[in-house]
Amino acid sequence: MSLSEHEYLLYTSALRAQLQVQIRQQLGEHSSPDAIADILDHTIQGVWERVFRPPLGQPPVENVEAYLRTAVRNNCQHYLRDLSNRALSLSDLLDTDDDQDDTENEYPYAEQMPFGLPPPYTRPNYDIRLDVRHALTAIPTWAADLLIRYYVEGMTLEEIQQETGMPRSTLGDRLQRARAWLRRELRGYEGQGGL
């Protein structure tokens, strides 16, 4: 199937409701309007790039609908995997109410432990909070600001859109890029009970 960019937009608009139902079913209890919209926008943009800006040497996409549905399924799986891998929320990590090191309270017998205290990533959240704050200063300001608004302040993409005037799809794309930047900065915590 060969489509122009305009036909692709019309085609995806017609499929939008069906794709939203597919996403809602795949996400199950983790389904939310923001998650559905983010996954759908990311999928439509990603497939558009694959169809109209294919990587060198890749064959053209023959069945756009099947490719869209597969991309939705894959993006839902990635989203659910990210949720299950996230042991702490960003607001938990940035919580400043109890910044003092209360290692003594959590490990009253630390001096009797044969090898000292457990590694930082297994301790309750104190050490990682400092790393998250540091990571937020290492990524672009707009990315840190967007992550804080969305995860810590609990703003929806619509609220951020009203505040900033940016299109919702741009905000969704930027949120994904901001998450990726933060994930790269916190790479050492992956698979160690952290992010």
Q: How many structural domains comprise the chain?
A: 2
Rounded average pLDDT over 171-175: 91
CATH number of domain containing 152: 1.10.10
Residue 31 sits in the same domain as residue 59: yes
Q: Which domain holds residue 131?
A: 90-189
What is the CA angle 13-18-19, rounded to 5? 80
d(CA 191, CA 193): 6
Q: Are 101 and 126 in contact (CB under 8 A)?
A: yes
Choice between 85 and 141, residue whose per-residue pLDDT is larger? 141
Q: Is there a domain that residue 195 lies in?
A: no
| End position of a domain, from candidates 85, 107, 126 | 85
The mean pLDDT of 60-78, rounded to a whole number, is 89
pLDDT over 90 for what percent of the chain? 12
Does one domain contain both 49 and 122? Answer: no
Are 138 and 173 contained in the same domain? yes
Is residue 74 located within the same domain as residue 104?
A: no
Identify the CA nearest to 26 among candidates 15, 41, 16, 39.
Answer: 39
Same structural domain, 113 and 172: yes
Count of other CB atoms within 10 angstroms of residue 126: 15
Query: Is 105 found in the same domain as 53?
Result: no
